Chains A and B, each alone.
Chain A
Amino acid sequence: MNNKKSEPLFHVIKRDDMTRGKAWGIRAISIVAALLLCALVTTVLTGDNPISVYATMFSGAFGSARKTWVTLQSLSILLIISLALTPAFRMRFWNCGGEGQVLMGGLAAAACMVTLDGKLPNALVIIIMIIASIAAGAIWGFIPAICKAKWNTNETLSTLMMNYIATQIVAYYTVLWESPKGSGKIGIINQNSNIGWLPEIGNKYLLSILVALLVTGFLYIYIYYSKHGYEICVVGESERTANYVGIKVPKVIVRTMLVSGALCGLAGLLLVGGINHTITTTIAGGQGFTAIMVSWLAKFNPITMIFTSLLIIFLGRGAGEIATVFELNQSFSDILTGIILFFIIGCEFFIRYKLVFRSGKKEEVKNV
């Protein structure tokens, strides 16, 4: 009975006393620590000077006016997709189908461009494209939502599987609309007539950026000030509470996923009609999944999401630049991105908990 045990080395204690400033302090420390570790890894593995690697990273994202615009444009698309997922996430509906919803939106836009070329005036084509791609995204969100609302199916699985269906549908149309024949891709649609190309505002990057800003503002108000936003929050926290006050849960689930899918469709429209003027199965580029992380990192706050998507885009573009300039392969930049994300996500642990060590009463706020 008396098997004497010593006190544990440390134990983990939940903390409630975290101020916002202190939390951001911890996040800043974690980024610095991540950069130090990346520097070490870089020097050990490649022998390159870490300072110049970081400088290259920065210039990769903001090195020239064009690079800055491209960075901002990529940021806008990622931001719109992240914002699109947010209402669903606030409802605890884990929409992992951003990828498919974007693809379907893009496909609808491409379909309008291909089939309506020369049949309708450009302005009308664009209006139809907007409606079609938003509707296509919304339908792709609606299907898993209605299954969840009616039969309580697991939305994570159904939204994921809808992605594969979307990819295969796009693959089918890629063959159907192949141009030139035998190339295995669609190529630039309406290269000469420019029918269905979204108008440029100022330069070819600004349109997406403006749309992203509009969506951010809209979603901020929708989430925090509208009755819909309030209902979403109640349903997410507790369906029983929602029933108790007479909120119709299935209706809220379906309505929210329509909004979520529609905004993804909008991102698809911008990708096809505004940026690429073509469609491939990989046009969403995994951003439907990256957006999940962006939205979570921002704690589902649309304004914070601007910064978290900037971070992800900056890392991605910077890492790509390192790979080319230092003639390292893409895998090395993935290693660096991975380390940085690990630190950023890991530091949330230290914001929520503290470690108390055996001997002293010192608080441990160190990262890692």
Chain B
Amino acid sequence: MTDKNVAVSVKNLSKSFGNVKANKNVNMEIYKGEILALLGENGSGKTTLMNMLSGLYYPDSGQIFIDGKEASIQSPRDAYTYGIGMVHQHFKLVDVLTAAENITLGEEGKLNIKKATAKIKEICDKYGFEVDPQKKIFNMSVSEKQTVEIVKVLYRGADILILDEPTAVLTPQETEKLFVVLKNMKADGKAVIIITHKLNEVEEISDRVAVLRAGEYIGDMITAETNAQEMTNMMVGHQVTLNIERPEPKEPKPRIIVEGLTVKDIDGITKLEDVSFIARSGEILGIAGISGCGQKELLESIAGLQHVESGSVKYVNDDGSVEELIGMNPQDIAEKGVALSFVPEDRLGMGLVGNMDIADNMMLRSFRNNGSLFTDKKTPHDLAETIVDKLEVSTPSIETPVRQLSGGNVQKVLVGREISNAPSVLMTAYAVRGLDINSSYTIYDLINEQKKKGTAVIFVGEDLDVLLQISDRILVLCDGQVSGIVEGKKADKNTIGLMMTRLEGGMTNE
């Protein structure tokens, strides 16, 4: 940070959607040869701001200067001509094409794949990427796909890189690799902007942090001169405590017994293989693993949503009697008196109906409960009011469609409903994905509250730091198999990271 060469500077940038001011008079500068971490809670306008730089949105007012000249960025293509490239959270790649084809996609003129491959190789060598240009996207791991996205952006000559939550889908080891590459880019004089919620990563990788709150630019700090607590306070606007409690389990008893569970998907690919474990009451069982290695199938098998090849899932009642859950659908399970709650990964596509209001979403679980032909609208409405009140859901009204709420509030509505019927088993998949610090801690507290009530909690997570703090035991999945179950208190991040990538990896380290 010796030479402060401004790469991008924005002046009084504003953007609103309807009544919502996503960005209000944002002034900020981005320097060459620097990694800037953009921080802010959900809905604070980080993504909107970056989308304006990358040409997806056009600002309502204000100016953007690139290298000191005013720029009008009307499309992603314009952004490329200004040297701005963005890697989105959800990859935008064509599955059936190779890496090289994806990287050159949209180029004008005749395609010379040989020349392109050479250029890709050159970029990879320069920054330390590992990409096989001939490999098809559908054969790639998430981290490889991400690499392709970054190379694509560099291939098009980007000098300013924007990465939206790049580490959310990576293992610790992959994250390390990514950070090495980012540091190489920085050394090359590129400006890198990274959006992330993980403060330890911010501390590790960034030179400077900029904070947005409620669409406004709050300020920036040199990373080396600040700490996680200060950053959080700046984001939230008031003091927060960053501790997840882990109360001792009270008389844990087996609640869910999974034995030899094997699941195949529609194409016959094995998703889970011979998975066995026990989830106990009053205990949080964390599930760790690279995304897509069977977590979803595991939870859905227990919830009665997944066709199972073989194996059994037994529910143990308080009196010791046992119910076999395999072969039942969610309605059968509920009718058996098994209070099973499930917070799925896809909140608006599965857990809730986006276009319905909060009250109608409350009915999803309970609408069959009364004997009549008609729905009871009053009870769900009251429940909605209780949840909005107790969990501090910020919403214009109970009648607001849930898709209009921010991510954190959507999750509060979903978790609120799922815990409202006093569950004996609570399963959560990525319960805090995309949530800001404040909402995340609300959710952790709610889960812990259930644990204290004696609920067996199965917590699928992606942030290992959180998993290590909240779980009593952690089950590590690798490619659909159990690679081990470790005590939450004794486990460390590295061991789990290795177990995630190879079976028994932690033990049989070379």
A interface residue numbers (CB < 8 A to B): 1-8, 11, 13-17, 225-230, 233-234, 237-238, 240-241, 243-248, 356, 361
Rounded to whole Å, the gap between the CB of B10 and the closest CB of chain A is 15
Complex-state Cα separation, A165 to B346, whole angstroms:
42
Residues in A neighbouring B20, C-beta threshold 8 A: 16
Chain A proximity mask over B176-193: 1 for CB below 8 Å, otherwise 0: 000000000000000000
Query: Which residues, 354 to 384 on B, are CB-close (under 8 Å) to A?
Result: 354-356, 360, 363-365, 367-368, 373-375, 377
Residues in A neighbouring B78, C-beta threshold 8 A: 5
B350 within 8 A of A: yes
B199 within 8 A of A: no
Complex-state Cα separation, A19 to B334, whole angstroms:
41
Residues in A neighbouring B17, C-beta threshold 8 A: 13-14, 16
Q: Given A17-B18, A237-B355: A1 and B82 within 8 A (CB)?
A: yes
Most interface-central of A6, A230, A233, A241 (chain B CB within 10 A) = A241
Q: A354: nearest residue on chain B (CB-CB)?
A: B18
5 residue pairs from A and B, CB less than 8 Å apart: A1-B82, A16-B20, A230-B360, A244-B330, A244-B344
Task: Decide: A227 and B368 in contact? CB cutoff 8 A.
Answer: yes
Chain A proximity mask over B291-315: 1 for CB below 8 Å, otherwise 0: 0000000000001110000000000
Q: Given A1-B82, A8-B58, A234-B364: A227 and B373 within 8 A (CB)?
A: yes
B353 within 8 A of A: yes
Complex-state Cα separation, A4 to B74, whole angstroms:
11
Residues in B neighbouring A247, C-beta threshold 8 A: 331
Task: Decide: A245 and B364 in contact? CB cutoff 8 A.
Answer: yes
Rounded to whole Å, the gap between the CB of B78 and the closest CB of chain A is 7
- For the complex of A and B, list the 4 residue pairs with the smallest distance between their C-beta atoms, beginning with the closest: A16-B18, A246-B331, A246-B330, A237-B353
Residues in B neighbouring A1, C-beta threshold 8 A: 81-83
Task: Decide: B334 and A246 in contact? CB cutoff 8 A.
Answer: yes
Residues in B neighbouring A356, C-beta threshold 8 A: 60
B497 within 8 A of A: no
Q: A3: nearest residue on chain B (CB-CB)?
A: B81
Task: Decide: B19 and A16 in contact? CB cutoff 8 A.
Answer: yes
Chain A proximity mask over B52-80: 1 for CB below 8 Å, otherwise 0: 00000010110000010110101000100
**Number of interface residues, chain B, beta carbon within 8 A:** 48
Q: B72: nearest residue on chain A (CB-CB)?
A: A5
Complex-state Cα separation, A230 to B329, whole angstroms:
19
Residues in A neighbouring B72, C-beta threshold 8 A: 4-7
A241's partner among B61, B304, B352 (CB-CB below 8 A) is B352
Task: Decide: B305 and A243 in contact? CB cutoff 8 A.
Answer: yes
Q: Given A3-B81, A244-B330: A11 and B367 within 8 A (CB)?
A: no
Residues in A neighbouring B329, C-beta threshold 8 A: 246, 248
Complex-state Cα separation, A355 to B304, whole angstroms:
48
Q: B363: nearest residue on chain A (CB-CB)?
A: A230
Task: Decide: B350 and A244 in contact? CB cutoff 8 A.
Answer: yes
Q: B19: nearest residue on chain A (CB-CB)?
A: A17
Residues in B neighbouring A233, C-beta threshold 8 A: 353, 356, 360
Q: A356: nearest residue on chain B (CB-CB)?
A: B60
Rounded to whole Å, the gap between the CB of B463 and the closest CB of chain A is 25
Residues in A neighbouring B18, C-beta threshold 8 A: 14-17
Chain A proximity mask over B403-432: 1 for CB below 8 Å, otherwise 0: 010000000000000000000000000000
Query: Which residues, 6 to 40 on B, are CB-close (under 8 Å) to A?
Result: 16-20
A238's partner among B70, B331, B350 (CB-CB below 8 A) is B350
Q: Given A14-B18, A227-B368: A241 and B373 within 8 A (CB)?
A: no
Most interface-central of B18, B82, B404 (chain A CB within 10 A) = B18
Residues in B neighbouring A11, C-beta threshold 8 A: 58
Complex-state Cα separation, A17 to B365, whole angstroms:
31
Residues in A neighbouring B58, C-beta threshold 8 A: 8, 11
Task: Decide: A230 and B367 in contact? CB cutoff 8 A.
Answer: yes
A226's partner among B19, B81, B346, B373 (CB-CB below 8 A) is B373
Residues in A neighbouring B342, C-beta threshold 8 A: 244
Residues in B neighbouring A240, C-beta threshold 8 A: 346, 349-350
B351's partner among A15, A228, A244, A248 (CB-CB below 8 A) is A244
Q: B404: nearest residue on chain A (CB-CB)?
A: A16
Q: A231: nearest residue on chain B (CB-CB)?
A: B367
Residues in A neighbouring B303, C-beta threshold 8 A: 244
Complex-state Cα separation, A278 to B304, whole angstroms:
54
Task: Decide: B353 and A238 in contact? CB cutoff 8 A.
Answer: yes
Complex-state Cα separation, A227 to B67, whole angstroms:
61
Residues in B neighbouring A248, C-beta threshold 8 A: 329, 331
